[in-house]
Amino acid sequence: MLAVLALPVYYGIQFIHDLLVVSAPGFVQMQQVTITAGTAGHVLFVLPSGATVKSGEALCRIQPYEQNDTIAASRSNRISKSALRSLQTALNLQARVVVIRQNKVKALKKLLDEGAATTADLTEAQEQLLSAESSADQSKAALERLAAQTSVLPQVTEASRAPFTGQVIRPLVYPGQWVSHDTPILTLLSHSQPWIEAFLSPKDIRYAHPGTPATIIFSNGQHIPGVVMSVSAEASRLPPQFSVFSSTRGNTLRIKLRLKHPLQLHDVVKDMPVKVNFQAWP
């Protein structure tokens, strides 16, 4: 009997929900850039995946081509490049340890919520993460100092610097590689808070205007309140990757939303799909 009633009840609840809420597909948007070399030459060092940097810090150092034609520079470079390779290897390993520690802290937080871990376990993991980050920062500073002193020639290297505070997602070159001035060096992700971009049918746009509250629903079931920041002036096609998640067809309006609660950046990735609910009643 209960099984017979369950389906009508479900559809009844869904009908009421559709009357009260308008849903739109969306995705997590984060500030991310690809850094290019800026000069042609020889890569001396590049920060590894997982390394964190502050705005203005060096992401890599490159020895320009025209400064590789003297015996003095060649001898100095041979000596320094060996030390650079050793430091680069150490930093790569330390960056991997940082990522492992970050994942452990993330896992323990979930286990703590489920009662399967203790606060002491989490505290110990957080201390290990801080220690790993400190070691990586020290190696990064040592690598930067040595790279700056690689040759006896003045101004022998040029550095590509971080435009903002963030984390290296992946390096695209390696020490010893020859690059041109526009070669992509690495991908950098900002530590600033992400925002949401949603796609709403023009017929429902009355439910979303600057200042309108909304609820962002993540794939793990987490609900976070948000607020509409802006609405695009022109309609465009729904991106193909969202067509399977939405009944909306034809053109849509792009909605930019700010999250009211900060996200743990290691819990999200750029372009992560979400659902955005807008209130459809006064």
Task: Say whether pLDDT at 195 is over 60.
Answer: yes
Q: Give the model's pLDDT for residue 236.
A: 76
Task: Say whether pLDDT at 262 is over 70.
Answer: yes
pTM: 0.57
Q: Where are the domains of the chain?
A: 22-31+193-279, 38-182
Over residues 18-31, mean pLDDT:
84
Return the number of other C-beta atoms located less than 10 Å from residue 111's C-beta.
14
Kindly indicate the confidence band of residue 211, based on its pLDDT and cuts at 50, 70 and 90. very high
Kindly indicate the confidence band of residue 14, based on its pLDDT and cuts at 50, 70 and 90. very low
Kindly indicate the confidence band of residue 281, based on its pLDDT and cuts at 50, 70 and 90. low
Calculate the average pLDDT of the chain. Answer: 79
Over residues 80-86, mean pLDDT:
70
The tokens of 5 are what?
Answer: 């009633």
Q: Give the model's pLDDT for residue 257.
A: 95
Q: Give the model's pLDDT for residue 251.
A: 81
Amino acid at 253: L
* Intra-chain end-to-end CA distance of the chain, in Å: 37
The total number of residues shown for the chain amounts to 282
Q: By percentage, how much of the chain surpasses pLDDT 70? A: 77
Give residue-wise pLDDT tens across range 93-141: 888 888 888 888 888 888 888 888 888 888 998 889 888 888 888 877 7
CATH of 22-31+193-279, one of 2.40.160.40, 2.40.30.170, 3.40.50.300, 2.60.120.200: 2.40.30.170
